[in-house]
Amino acid sequence: MPQKQEYLSKNQQIVLSIIEKAKGPLKAYSILYNVQKKGIKAPLQVYRALEKLIEIGKIHKIESKNAFIACKNSDCEISKATAFSICNNCEHVKEIKNSKLSKYLSNFEDNSGMKYKKYNLEFFGLCRDCKLKQ
């Protein structure tokens, strides 16, 4: 099985490394502020890197937050099938790695018999810590 080519350009490496170091999802402009000392000056440079990183599955976009998080699952089929849990209180976000869930959704057929190549699922609730504190 040939590996997908994953050479990263300079800007892509810079952006990825910021996102990987972060504890949670980062917003595009917060990434921008964080990398200005490294020569990336404009939003577009960040957005272009983000686009590529999403395409190759290194990061995902949390749509409900307009924020970006590093992929922790080696088997996220190039970002085609993603699921996240999001805490409503502390905003903690975690990628869900659950093969039953991903099989269920990948094989899901809607009422007209249609299947889907790609999905994104976002769960909202209280994380364990926040639940205990209540």
Q: Cβ 89 to a copy of itself, closest distance in Å?
A: 12
Look at residues 90, 45, 93 and name the one whose alpha carbon lies nearest to residue 69. Answer: 93
Site membership for a copy of itself, residue 63 (CB under 8 A) = yes
- Residues linked to residue 59 through DSSP beta bridges, in sequence order: 70
How many whole angstroms separate alpha carbon 6 and alpha carbon 101?
27
Q: Cβ 104 to a copy of itself, closest distance in Å?
A: 6
Q: Are 123 and 84 contacting, i.e. CB atoms less than 8 angstroms apart?
A: yes
Site membership for a copy of itself, residue 98 (CB under 8 A) = yes
71 binds, among a copy of itself, DNA, Zn ion, none (CB under 5 to 8 A by kind): Zn ion
Site membership for a copy of itself, residue 120 (CB under 8 A) = yes
Based on CB atoms, which residue is closest to a copy of itself, 14 or 93? 93
Instruction: Tally Cβ neighbours within 10 Å of residue 87.
Output: 19
How many whole angstroms separate alpha carbon 107 and alpha carbon 115?
7
Site residues for Zn ion per CB under 5 A? 71, 73, 76, 87, 89-90, 92, 127, 130
